[in-house]
Amino acid sequence: MTKKALIGIIAEAVVVTVMVAMAVAGCTQGWPERYTEPVEKITIAAAAYLTGALVYVAEDQGFFKKNGLEVT
């Protein structure tokens, strides 16, 4: 395994670990059931690889809509 490949694997593992830690930290807060403010439109660029999977899961489960975000 080359040094460049190893650095890439480590970087991806760090990104996934940070995303999981943020998701767990966010689960401890008492969010309201529905967001009542006006909808805000945002654009997210996510890779179609493992690191971008959480964005697709959140969209499928309605996380963005529930929190007043229209994601493209």
Q: What is the pLDDT of residues 5-21, one digit of tens each?
A: 888 898 999 999 988 88
DSSP state of 51: G
Tens digit of each residue's pLDDT (9 = 90 or more) over 17-64: 988 888 877 666 665 666 677 888 888 887 777 778 888 888 889 888
Strands 40-42, 69-71: pairing kind: parallel
d(CA 65, CA 34): 9
Burial-class residue 67 by CB neighbours within 10 Å (0-12, 13-18, 19+): middle
